[in-house]
Amino acid sequence: MTVAGEFSLAAVLPLLGMLATLAASWGIVRFQAAQHDKRIARLDERCEALGKELAEFKVEAVQRFVSDEALAKVESRISDGFNRLADRLDRLVEATPRRTPRS
């Protein structure tokens, strides 16, 4: 049996099968692409949320934590205070009369 003159049904059926396979493959690829697009959109939203959280943390860290310069200033003030206290104690010890041992 021939279709349109020279084409036999045996030759047309495999071509139709290949076209159906290509159409099904294209549909599957489009479906998977749509699924990946959705996943990428969710990941983009998550990245944006994490970026906002990181920015908020950076602001909190700047407000909460001490800078190296401020820490050095506090350390210097404490050290100076201890040195002044040691000097006062030295003067106090030097100013107190010494006892002489009894014989």
- Report pLDDT digits (tens) over 78-87: 999 999 999 9
State yes or no: pLDDT of 15 exceeds 80. Answer: yes
What residues contact residue 8 under an 8 Å CB cut-off, 6+ apart? 1, 2
Phi first, then psi: what are they for 102, rounded to 5°? Answer: -85, 140
State yes or no: pLDDT of 5 exceeds 60. Answer: no
> Looking at residue 39, what is its pLDDT?
97
- How far CA 66 is from CA of 29, 73, 80, 96, in Å, comes to 54, 11, 20, 43
Q: Is 2 helix (H, G, I), strand (E, B) or coil?
A: strand
Tokens 């003159």 sit on residue: 5
Structure tokens at 35: 């699924």
- Report pLDDT digits (tens) over 90-101: 999 888 887 777
> Looking at residue 3, what is its pLDDT?
47
Task: Report, as an integer, the average pLDDT of 6-28.
Answer: 90
